[in-house]
Amino acid sequence: MSQDNADGTNIVNVLTVADISSFVDKLSSTSETSPLLVDKGIYMLAEPQYVKSGLASNALVLNVTAEGEDSSTFVRFRELCLQMGHYQCEIIGITIDPSESADVEAPALHAVTYTELVRDPNNLMPDAFNHQPNVNDIFWEMEMENSGVVNYSLNFMVADLTTATKPSVVGYFVVKSSLNIGDPQD
Amino acid sequence: MTDAVRNVLAVISVDDVLQKHGVNNSVDAAVMLDADCMGTFAANVSGYLAPLPPASVSSVTSAKWVLWRATSLTFNAKYHCLITGVSVEDTANCFVSQPVMQWIDRPTPLVTLVETAVQPEIRTQTETVWAAEIKGAGNVKYEMSVKVLDHHGNLQGYYRLQSTLAVN
């Protein structure tokens, strides 16, 4: 788990790794409102307890410490496609099931800028980097003020990067999973 | 243009690594990571890589490759995971040679601002990967050496990880 030293809040990073090739043939008939429900080829990873699973339906059990009355836990969702350079997958929405979930803020898209280290193509030395400022770090984030279970759906869009100068949409899929944010005393 | 590539990705939870091992400054005593702070994944992909294979390789067409990459769970905004070496225990004789560092031009989606409108486009960006040319199917064990930098470029340590890979 990452600790934000500025205000003492907890940040949990969740990464979804998608093997698009295992279900890409089923994406052509999907739409944003009718995505493919995927339960294989999806790997969920999270801090602080590193969890790997081939089944997205497995819950990510995160025993997150929420110290202090005013502290919150911010869960950040990012995504990565194993077919880098061919397909790109992007989270386009996160839906919380309110009937079976603890009280959480609606997840929202955030972008913060940072200075990227970019390799110098004219210098092959391993430590030769140029500093590229103002690169976007884009992630979805939801805030939890209390412990509890959150059942959620991650909605993805898949784009093909090889077809033209602009990404072309291949289709849409959805992954259902859950988080269990526990009290430190438990 | 290659016709088949197997992408291998190692995801490292650097915060967990630093909490567990601290900053390891010794390249000669790189810490071996265990499964609770990293994950390795592999998947096939086809037909997008240039300029692989390099001119030094005779099989200019229809070559098959394994590419190794490493990333932080939090991506580059916090840490950079730089592969400094990949070695394979190739008892099944799957590879032409040991993996070497390669530069490839990878199609990358970018968002640009045209006047007030956001427009997606694709540009090629040069990327460093470790690659080995496949000559046969089998299972191999590999070891990856990784150097971790923070987003300021400061060293956060040298680490190693091991995993196995099924080569199609």
For chain A, the DSSP string reads -EE-TTT--EEEEEEEEE-GGGTGGG-TT--SSSPEE--SSEEEEESSS----S-TTS-EEE-----STT--EEEEEEEEESSTTTEEEEEEEEEE-GGGS--BPPPEEEEEEEEEEEE-TT---TT-EEEEEEEEEEEEEEEESS-EEEEEEEEEEEEESSSSSS-EEEEEEEEEEEEEE--TT-
**pLDDT tens digits, residue range A133-180?**
888 788 999 887 777 788 889 999 999 888 777 778 999 999 888 877
Average of per-residue pLDDT across B31-37: 88
Extract the residue ranges of chain A whose pLDDT is less than 70.
Answer: 1-9, 48-71, 100-102, 121, 123-127, 182-186
Contact assignment for B41 to A17 by CB distance below 8 Å: yes
- CA B59 to chain A, closest CA, distance in angstroms equals 22
Length of chain B: 168
Q: How distant is the alpha carbon of residue B167 from its chain centre?
A: 16
Decide if A1 contacts A151 (C-beta within 8 A).
Answer: no
Interface contact B73, partner A, CB < 8 A? yes
Distance CA B73, CA B75 (A): 5
Give me chain B's average pLDDT, please: 83
Name residue, tokens 């967990």.
B16
Local confidence band at B49 (pLDDT 50, 70, 90 cut-offs): low
**Residue from the list B107, B126, B147 with its beta carbon closest to the beta carbon of A121:** B126
Q: Is B143 left (phi over 0), alpha (psi -120 to 50) or beta?
A: beta
Q: Coil, strand, or helix at residue B77?
A: helix
pLDDT-based confidence at B1, cuts 50/70/90? Answer: very low
On whether ipTM exceeds 0.85, the answer is: no
Question: A117 to chain B: which residues are within 8 Å by CB?
Answer: 76, 80, 149, 151, 153
CB neighbourhood size of B111 (10 A): 11
* pLDDT for B58 beyond 50: no
pLDDT for position A149? 81
Alpha-carbon distance of A168 to A171, in angstroms, equals: 9
Mean of per-residue pLDDT scores for chain A: 78
**Could you give the CA distance from residue B150 to residue A72 in angstroms, rounded to a whole number?**
25
